[in-house]
Each structure stands twice: as structure tokens, then as C-alpha cells.
Amino acid sequence: MAVGEMNGVEPGSGLEAKDSNHTDQNGGGGGDGGGEDEHRCRWGPFGPDCCQTFRRPAWFLLCICLATATQGVVVNGFVNVVISTVERRFEMSSTESGIIASCYDIASVLCLIPVSYFGGRGRKPVYLAVGMFLMGIGSFVFSLPHFTTGLYQLGEAQKSVCTIGGNVTSCGSTEVSHLSDYKYVFYLGQLLHGAGASHLYTLGVTYLDENLPVRSSSMYMGTYHAFAVLGPGIGYLAGGAFLNFFTDVDKLDEITQGISPANPRWVGAWWMGFLVSGTAAIIISLPMFGFPKVLPESGKYRAEREKEVYKGKVQKADSEKQPLGLKHIVTSAKVLLTNPTFMFLNLAAASEGLVITGVSTFGPKFIEFQFGLPSSTAAQYLGVIAIFGGAGGTFLGGWLVKRFNWDVRQILKFCIAATVVTVCLGLVFLVHCPNVIFAGISTDYSQPSRTGMLLDPVNMDATCNTDCGCSLYEYNPVCGRDNVMYYSPCYAGCQDSFSAAKKTYSNCSCVTYNLTAADTTSGQYWQVQEGKCANDCPHLAVFCALFTGMILATFITSMPALSASLRSVSQDQRSLGMGIQWIIARCLGSIPGPILFGKMLDLTCLQWQQTCQGKGACFYYDNQQMSYNLLALVMTFNIAFAIAYILALVFYRSSDPPSAASMEVTVPSPDDGGKTSMHTSTTSVYTNTTTITLPPSPDPENKWRTVLDVGPEGWISQHTVSTEL
């Protein structure tokens, strides 16, 4: 019903637009173009009728959930679990391993815009399937270094006892390894992972969203993103289980090596999971190839998608009928980049992404070194936390949006409240454990009182081992019965191996523990035992409980924030909008996150692995400083996270009545010599008032008129129509 007119165009004259849907030829036709071929499940020319029963949102949800779970298992599960193991096996620092994690997002940034834009205009499932196949290849590449290197060499560390008058091992007599160069293979594998999975969260989200009613969309996407977070949890648990097998399990029994997963030199089978996930990714890609461009009945959901679009200065973006090119990408991007609510949501996603990727990448390593756990056990702790905190928070967030049917303003208020909780729980990193006393690092050899104070500079040499010919290239930590850890039996001054099977040593000149009569009676003549000293820290349960709460409070906003982002942009810009959001989130968050967290960990390292090429992995960290460094990072970006949501709410204006300053409409000019009866350009806004201020005439010659129509629930459509016949 027309409620207003402008410049002499009367309602009922035949020149006004009766319904804004008249300008959308696909509005009720079932999708993008309505062709029967676009609605059939097919693999090229092969599209049997028996497969058409699967062209439903629920079946696509199953496929995309398996795909995103596999991506989570690989990229956010296996990769993070094996970080410390790969560092140890291939002599890398945390900064270098952080770059491995960041390569995934670097590739995503390079692929997101072109894939999201052109994929948004094409058959989305095919793009998704090709990406899954490419991700499977990336997993095989990532595991390649295991098969191209020799057996894991423990070197002479098992025999590193004190030999009076012995010679110090030098690089001149040691074969120089190039294991650290394999980092480039890991970079390539992660780049392929990123290129393949770059559009799971853009094309996958938009394909689901455009084929569902608004009310069901949040629940479907909540399930989808719950699988995305469930995947890392499975990856942590499965990856931790794989690490309990020795890396050369296919060639050598770990028992013959004489070490167990609790030994700091243990290297688990880090490569196994990537073979499994690579195979799974390729299998999942096969049914995904068959889904149609649009599902049946998708067209009737298009109109309701426009209802909550941000209505500041709006310019109609290009339609799907226009030729694709750089000009149209720039036009669409300009509209999105001038949408303040959308942009602040992007900044919130970047802050959240930096914290999540940094914590998920080095979380297992933090628990491993802070609480003195094997890497496999630390990974499994993170797996449980990811399932309950991450997947639970994501699913709960999606359920809340559906249950209470929140609009964008209510969603943003909820996100603000949740981030305040996240900031408070970020104080969990104040929970830390004291360092195990390490001779030469946290205590002096000659100092009788073991205070645990850090030494500057670190010095492993002392009078008790000066003639032993010990080498820093041979790291084999042992724990003395005086509860002090030594770099190796040699640095403990041990001249005899008491028991080769149990890896115990005796006659250790640096160990102050004196054997008692009970020791002599029981035959316990040993003074040091291979492995790190136990870290009897009672804070693990408290840390895990608070950390789970922080992860849940962080992920509970992911689904609501995504829903707000989708609702704040127009229907035909959503694929590109999601691409832009992920690029911003990755460039400012996910890419620098692992590198920044890795660098902050490296700054707390007290003892580096010594190799002939320089330093390798870190053997010993300052636990207190590690906690403080991570606390500073997490708190800084969690606060930025909250501020971004506050500003998004401040600038959100869906209920503003239209005005001359807030409406900007692009009007097409006639292309047929003025014989066409009507050309329209439509902008929809919402008003809760009965008084509407209309903009001035679009042209001084009065050849164009503006007509406003009222739709359901107070939605207004502005039409600019031609008066030339």
C-alpha cells in the first residue's frame, strides 16, 4: 500500500512500484535463475533421479559439518598437538613453529576474496569440494618429512656419562643436520590446507544461510560451527593418542630405544593423524561435488533476508546479472567497508581470532611445560577443554539466538556481556607452577641451598664435572635423588651406569644426596635417574576449570556474532562480506596470533637446544614469566574484543527513519531511447513511526519520481521510477 508520493506521481496511476519484490525476478522462483539444472544433484552430466532426495539442507549440513570437522581436526587439532614434537624433532623455535600455524591463514587471505566472490556467483558446493580435495593433499604433504628423513637419532645421549679426561664433542666431528630446513615443507602443507579450507566459512555459511528460513538459520549454523569447534577437540584427543606411539613405530620398536612418552627426548608419531585426515578429506569431497547450485524452495527465503540489513548510507550493489570484474568487486567492497557495524564486528573477530589461534596453537605446550606433563597428555587435556568449552559454547550461542529470536541489537548486547566474562576469566594465566630446579640454570652447583633463583648467565660447567668432557649437543636430562635436574648424566658427574634398563646412574660427583643404610639394604645405589624431575604442582585442576570457562565464554559469542554480521549486510553482498570479514580477522588476528604467542614463549626460554647450525628447540622455560607474557597478550586482546562489540552496538542503526542524508540510491538510466515504461531502483528500510521524511527529487527535470511502499511489519521500500513512456 502506498503511503506517500513525491513530485506529482499519484498512487494508482500505474507509475508507482506496488511491491519491492517485483524488482527481484528470483524472489519466488526458487533461486538464482530458476533453471532445473541448477536444482539437481549431479556430478558433471551424471545426475540420477535417485540422488535428488539428498538435495535438502539437512543433507548438505551433514556434508559441510563433516568437512569443517575434518578441517578442525587437521588444522586446529593435529597441527597444534604436534607443535612441540615437531620443534623437538626438527630443531625449530616456537616462533618458527608459529609461522607454520600462520601459513594456513596466509593462504586463506590470498584465496578468500576471489573464491568468495566468484564462488558466490557460481556453484558453491563445487568450490567447497575442490577445496576439501586440496586440503587432503596438504595433509599428505605435511606428513612427508617423516618419510624423507632417517630414523630419529638419540645420538650419544644414552652414553653421556662422565669420562675423566674425555674430549668435548665439537661440530667438526659431528655431522651437520639440516632438519630445520624441513620447516619449508610444513609451510607448504599448511598453505595447501589454507587454500583448500579458505571458503568453508564463507561459501559454506552463505550456502546454508540462503537455503534456510531466518528462524532455522541460526540453529543450522550453530550446529555447523559446533562441529567446527568439535573438530579441534577430536584432533587434540586423537593426536595425543598418536603421540603415545614412537615416531618410528613403522621401523623400530620404541622399547629398544629405552625411553617412554614421559622422557623429554621422546618424539611421538606426529605424522599418523595427517595420513588419516588427508584420506578423510578426499572422501568427503566426493558427495559434496554433487550438490546443486541452489536447493529447491530457496527463493522464498530471500525477501526476509533483507529485513535487518544495516541502513545507513546504502548504495545498491551489483546484481548477479552483471558481468563480473574488478569494478564490481570494488563497488561491493566499498559498500561493506563503509558499514560501521559490520567493520567493528570484523575487528572483534580479529581480536578473538588472535587469542584463539595463539592459545590453541601453544596451549598444549603451555600445559606440557607448566605442569610437567608429557605432550600426549597435555594434548588430551586441551581436547577435553575444546569439546566442553569450544563446541559447547558455539552450540549454546546458536541455540540462544534461536530460542529468544534476538535481533541484531540484542545479539550485540549479549556479546558485550560475554566478553566481559572472558576478560575476567583471562586472569587464569596468573595460575602457574614453580620451575623444577635445574643445576646451572636455577641453582648453582656449589650452592648447598636449592633456592630456585635463576642464574645469569646460565653455566652448566662446575668443578665437579670440569674434567668430564661434557657436551651441550648431548641433551639427556636426569633427575637426581636430591630433586635437582641435570642437563645430562655427564653434567651430573656420573661415571657409572647403574642400570641400563631403568636408565639410572651412580658415582655422580655433582649430586649432594648421600646414600643411606636403607638404600644400601634395598640395593638402591643409584643417584640420578633419566628424565625430568616431577613437578608436583597442585594447580592443574584449577587451571583447567578456569580455562574451560574462558574458552566457553569466548566461543559462545561466535555464532551470535556471525548472525549479526550476516544480518548487517545485504543479501547479494553476503559472500563477499564474509570473505572480507575473514580476511580482516586473519590479517589482524589469526596470522600474527601464533607468531606473536610463539615469540613471547621464546622470550621466556632459559636453555636452548644446541646444534651445529645454531640453536634449535627450547628445553627449559621460565614458568612464571611464561604465564605473565601470555596473560598480557590475552588480556589486551580480550579487552579490544569487548570494545569492538560496544562500538558495533553504538553505530548500529537499523531502526532509524529514512532521511535525505541517510538514503543514497543509484538510479539506472534508460537504455532503450526512453520507450520503457518503468525503471526502478529499490532500497528497503524499517520505520516504527508513521511520519516519513522523503528525500528530494532525484533529478531537476522531474523525469524520475520516488514512491514509498509499506510492506509487512513496517518495512518500507523506496522506489525511483521513470515517468517517460
668 or 140: which leads in pLDDT: 140
Query: What is the predicted pLDDT for the residue at 283?
Result: 93
Instruction: In whole angstroms, give the CA distance from residue 703 to residue 204.
Output: 44
Q: Cα-flanking dihedrals φ and ψ of residue 453, to 5°?
A: -75, 145
The pLDDT-based confidence of 331 (bands split at 50, 70, 90) is confident
Stretch 388-395: mean pLDDT? 85
User: 554-567 b/e with 16+ CB inside 10 Å = b?
Assistant: bbbbbbbbbbbbbb
Instruction: In whole angstroms, give the CA distance from residue 437 to residue 110.
Output: 47
The pLDDT-based confidence of 614 (bands split at 50, 70, 90) is confident
282 or 573: which leads in pLDDT: 282
pLDDT in tens, 338-387: 899 999 999 999 999 999 999 989 999 999 999 988 888 998 898 889 88
Assign 3-state DSSP to the chain and report helix, strand, coil percentages, each to 5: 55, 10, 40
Which stretches does DSSP call E strand in 193-319?
none
DSSP β-ladder status, 605-611 and 528-530: unpaired
> How many Cα atoms within 13 Å fall on the side-chain side of residue 579?
22
Stretch 47-54: mean pLDDT? 64
Which of 617, 434, 373 shows the shortest CA–CA distance to 443? 434
The pLDDT-based confidence of 247 (bands split at 50, 70, 90) is confident
Query: What is the predicted pLDDT for the residue at 330?
Result: 82
**What is the helix (H) or strand (E) element at residue 574, kind and residue range?**
helix 574-585
Stretch 264-288: mean pLDDT? 90
Lowest mean pLDDT among 479-488, 583-592, 610-619: 610-619
Residue 326 clears pLDDT 80, i.e. is over it: no
Lowest mean pLDDT among 30-34, 228-232, 550-554: 30-34
Stretch 706-723: mean pLDDT? 44
Domain ranges of the chain: 50-167+180-299+306-433+537-651
Residue 311 clears pLDDT 70, i.e. is over it: no
Q: Give the bridge partners for 405, in sequence order.
A: none
Q: Give the bridge partners for 246, in sequence order.
A: 268
Burial zone of 399 (CB within 10 Å; 0-12 exposed, 13-18 middle, 19+ buried): middle
700 or 562: which leads in pLDDT: 562
pLDDT in tens, 67-93: 999 998 998 889 999 998 999 899 899
The percent of residues above 70 in pLDDT, for the chain, comes to 70
Instruction: In whole angstroms, give the CA distance from residue 366 to residue 385.
Output: 14
∠ CA 669-715-57, nearest 5°, is 95
Contact 231, 81 (CB under 8 A): no
Averaged pLDDT of the chain = 76
Other Cβ atoms within 10 Å of 613 Cβ, number: 14
Stretch 571-591: mean pLDDT? 83
Residue 682 clears pLDDT 90, i.e. is over it: no
**What is the helix (H) or strand (E) element at residue 63, kind and residue range?**
helix 57-71
Residue 518 clears pLDDT 60, i.e. is over it: no
| 50-167+180-299+306-433+537-651 has CATH 1.20.1250.20 classification | yes
Instruction: In whole angstroms, give the CA distance from residue 547 to residue 549.
Output: 5
Instruction: In whole angstroms, give the CA distance from residue 612 to residue 617.
Output: 13
Residue 153 clears pLDDT 80, i.e. is over it: no
521 or 532: which leads in pLDDT: 532
Query: What is the predicted pLDDT for the residue at 190?
Result: 94
